[in-house]
Amino acid sequence: MATANQAPARRTPSAATAQLFSLALKREGRLLLQMGIGKPLIAQAMLLAEEHGTTVEEELLASGDINEAIYFAALAERLGLDFMPDIDPNRVQDIAGLDTQIIRPEMLRIHHASRPPITVIVPSLSRLDEMAALLERTPPLRQSIAVSTPSAVRNAAWQAGRLRRVTATTQALFETTPLHSARITFWGKQGFYAGVLLGALVAAAITLPIVSLLMLHIVLTLFYLANFLIRFYALGCAFLQQRSGRSLPMEDEPVGPLPVYSVLVALYKEESVAAQLIAALDRLDWPRSRLDIKLICEEDDAETIAALRALPLAPEYEIVLVPVHLPRTKPKALSYALPGVRGTFVTVYDAEDRPHPGQLREAHAAFMAAPERVICLQAPLIVTNARQSWLSALFAVEYAGLFRGLLPMLSLTGLPLPLGGTSNHFRTSELRHIGGWDPYNMTEDADLGMRLHRLGYRSRVIFKPTFEEAPVTLPVWLGQRTRWFKGWLQTWLVLMRKPAQLARETGWPSFAVFQVLIAGMLLSSLCHPIVIGFLVYLTWMMLQESTHVDNWLAFWLFACDIINIFGSYAVFIALGRNRMGASERRAVGRHWVYVPFYWLIMSLAAWRALLELRTNPFSWNKTPHGPVGEA
């Protein structure tokens, strides 16, 4: 049986197949000439079709050099059929199989109250003679058939099935695998256990305050130390890589025609960055006839929709309108669009993103070289506005350490990756198989990364980055970080519904790393001021005793607190700066001195998230974006 590594060879056509393909292209060219399309356009389209493994018709429509409506109107005239440029979705029934028309628009049934239904078709040039012969044999068919465009058929199918589709989107994961859904915050006995634990802690704090504080100190120390060691190990790997001058090998690009690649971008109140987004996506180095870009908007977001429609969108773009339905989250929008994805692979970008033009090609090459169980690739995110404020500077350091330090280390060791919310690439069929994104999770990226790992799939990293901007003001940063902490809390609660089962599915090393990275990060963020308080108290106590220490436990806790606090600050800064280029380090400057304040406001965000999880678990704190210059 062939393996994934052999995929490029399988796509190389035989001589006979290539000859038939060439004859088909020439036949299409002759038909287009008869329709009045110029020879230069046809010749260029034929060259691209042969290179991309497509048709001349596909290349012409993707080029934007011919108008879709005029082209299909000409086909309708050649067949002697009526042309219907627009389709009323209210006259289309939401029947089984309707969703196939949003992937491959070919045929719709239009119903009327006072006359027989009409079948709307999207004829293809390759089957035009066959269709003409059928109509010649059965002339009455002309009364019940009309021609329309792929865009009109696709739009009518989206609209006709909108309510059924949005309901399925919000319910599918919960109904098929409720264990993996965050729709219920505390599952089964989790609420009971949480209440018992809280009650026990309060009782212990009242009856045995000293012992309780000591135990809390020890637990926090161990979690802090584990987090520190993981990041210290990532720093060591990064330092050795830098000293050796080696980088991870880039995969050679496969030969042969490229598959369709889908791009999903969820937008809400993003009219200010619409033009910047389209300009960035237009620069992607991928054949336009092989691109499927879906701009996903809430249907009541009139400003963003108007801004997108005012732009000269190329044929590969499609605006998908999501019906108003709770929860109003990014993962719900992505999951709503997933049934319409045409690509073999799919990636997700945010509205403010500027991906490297070669990122899709690198991801495709990596997928082709990787085992089939590798279904996700994460590209690094690079912050480009580090000079704007101390918050954006430390955000840049944090992202450099995470995406270019910690995640590559986890990838190399086969451990689960808590994905970023953008620039992750997936094999589409497997993404659909695992249920897509959880519409109720506020960090759908981390949830999905852990879920696919427990299901036996793996994630890796690629290296061509996506550039984006960090928040520069405290209210915006705090809102975004609160949402992230709430999502990490949801993810931990979902995964810990059956801890023993999770450990069996992921393996004990992955289970332990998950606890350190997610639970340890949450606990250390919530309790960072407490740990500082412990350190201050122990320092005062030792000064009172003139630095003579009789209590060995107090001494070791004091030493661990020093390592945990100042060592964690140091490794946070060092890991980020080690992965940065010289210009990035200059942009950050001396803002790293604000790391203690940065961690304290992270604690504030964590406590806000804990409160929101109880009072408003599915609210999405929107991060506003504005247009920026190039990095």
Tokens for 186, please give them: 């505390």
Q: Tell me what pLDDT residue 245 has.
A: 53
Res 12: pLDDT: 45
Q: DSSP assignment, residue 406?
A: I
How confident is the model at residue 241, as a pLDDT?
73
Say how far apart CA 180 and CA 439 lie, in whole Å. 11
d(CA 447, CA 434): 12
The pLDDT score that the predictor gives to residue 211 is 85
CA distance 355 to 384: 12
Amino acid at 336: Y
Q: Using only C-alpha atoms, what is the Rg of the chain?
A: 28
Query: Between 56-63 and 68-79, two packed helices, what is the crossing angle to 10 degrees?
Result: 140
Distance between CA atoms of 255 and 365, rounded to whole angstroms?
10
Confidence class for position 351, pLDDT limits 50, 70, 90: very high
* CA–CA separation, 385 and 471 (whole Å): 9
Q: Per-residue pLDDT for 608 more than 70?
A: yes
Q: 43-57, 385-399, 549-563: which has the minimum mean pLDDT?
A: 549-563
Residue 1 has pLDDT above 50, yes or no: no
Long-range CB contact pairs, 305-311, < 8 A, 24+: 306/271, 307/271, 307/274, 307/275, 308/267, 308/274, 308/278, 311/274, 311/275, 311/278
Q: Given this model, what pLDDT does residue 247 score?
A: 53
Q: Give the separation between CA 158 and CA 337, rounded to whole angstroms.
A: 10
Q: What is the pLDDT of residue 18?
A: 53
| DSSP structure class, residue 324 | S
Q: Is the pLDDT of residue 466 over 90?
A: yes
Residue 29 has pLDDT above 90, yes or no: no
Give the pLDDT score at 250.
63
Alpha-carbon distance of 628 to 631, in angstroms, equals 9
Q: What is the pLDDT of residue 629?
A: 56
The string of pLDDT tens digits covering residues 498-535 is: 999 999 999 999 999 999 989 988 998 999 999 899 88
Tens of pLDDT, residues 413-426? 999 999 998 999 99
First to last CA, the chain: 46
Asked whether residue 549 carries a pLDDT value surpassing 70, the answer given is no
**SS3 (DSSP) at 130:** helix
Q: How confident is the model at residue 246 (pLDDT cuts 50, 70, 90)?
A: low
The 10s digit of each residue's pLDDT in 318-333 is 999 999 999 999 999 9
Cα separation of 257 and 14, whole Å? 14
Give the residue-averaged pLDDT of 87-109. Answer: 94
Torsion of CA 596, 597, 599, 600, to 10 degrees: 120
The SS3 call for residue 27 is: helix
What six digits make up the tokens of 530?
């407490």
Q: Which amino acid is at 416?
A: P
Give the pLDDT score at 26: 67
Strands of 82-83's sheet in order across = 82-83, 145-147, 118-121, 107-110
Residue by residue, DSSP assigns 585-603 as HHHHTTGGGGHHHHHHHHH
- Tens-digit pLDDT profile for residues 173-201: 999 999 999 999 888 888 888 888 888 88
User: Which long-range contacts does 237-240 make (Cβ < 8 Å, 24+ apart)?
Assistant: 237/405, 237/408, 237/409, 237/412, 238/404, 238/405, 238/409, 238/575, 238/578, 238/579, 239/578
Under a CB-based contact definition with an 8 Å cutoff, are residues 380 and 461 in contact? yes
Say yes or no to pLDDT of 6 above 50: no
Q: Measured over all CA atoms, what is the biggest interatomic distance in the chain, rounded to whole angstroms? A: 107
What does pLDDT average to over the chain?
A: 89
Q: b/e for 602-626, b at 16 or more Cβ within 10 A?
A: bbbbbebbeebbeeebbebbebebe
The count of other CB atoms within 10 Å of the CB of residue 207 is 9
Residues 295-311 have pLDDT tens digits of 999 999 999 999 999 99
How confident is the model at residue 192, as a pLDDT? Answer: 82
